Amino acid sequence: MRLLQSDVQAVDDEALRRYVFRIAGNLIVDRWRKRKRDESEMTDPVRAGQSGTRDLDVARIFSELKSRDRILLWLAYVEGDAHEDIAASLRVARGSVKVLLSRARARLRDLLVARGVVEESEK
């Protein structure tokens, strides 16, 4: 359904296949996180509320990043994609990925520090 609702202009079958797998992977991660969150709230609602607050803050701040930064960070650190794969997915030069990731991390770190979610020394 998400594929049909998206406005993807797949150049070839391989790009479309990667996009479908990305959607499926994201759905699996979402389901896993929801189940884990529900289980932790059932076992200890007080502790889950306290530790979950920081996670929610980080998630909100992550959503404030530019779309490209979110995608870069997600592909690199959640999906574990290699720079070459990220470059192909985003249609940028392979050598640019390292620089773009560094800038995205810096922007996320600056937002987290500015909002008081992490201290300057936790960078």
Q: What is the CATH number of the domain that holds 33?
A: 1.10.10.10
Q: Is residue 5 part of a domain?
A: no
Report if residue 74 sits inside a domain: yes
Please report the DSSP string for 18-38 in residue order: HHHHHHHHHHHHHHHHHHHHH
Structural domain range at position 80 = 11-122
pLDDT band at 48 (very low <50, low <70, confident <90, very high): very low
pLDDT at 97 over 90: yes
Does 82 map to a domain? yes
| Predicted local confidence at residue 102, as pLDDT | 94
- pLDDT, position 84: 92
Closest CA to 90 of 103, 78, 76, 108: 76
Residue 41 lies in a domain: yes
Element spanning 9, H or E: none
Q: Is the predicted pLDDT of residue 120 greater than 70, yes or no?
A: yes
> What sign for the dihedral angle of Cα 61, 62, 67, 73?
positive
Q: Is residue 85 part of a domain?
A: yes
- Mean pLDDT across the chain: 81
Does any domain span residue 4? no
Instruction: Read off the pLDDT of each residue in 70-77 and give the average, rounded to a whole number.
Output: 91
Query: Would the pTM count as exceeding 0.85?
Result: no
What percentage of the chain has pLDDT greater than the value 70?
Answer: 83
How far apart (Å, rounded) are the C-alpha atoms in residues 77 and 22? Answer: 14
Contact 70, 63 (CB under 8 A): yes
Residue 42 has pLDDT above 70, yes or no: no
> What SS3 state is found at 69?
helix
* Beta carbons of 94 and 87 less than 8 angstroms apart: yes
Per-residue pLDDT tens digits for 10-39: 678 888 888 888 888 888 888 888 888 777
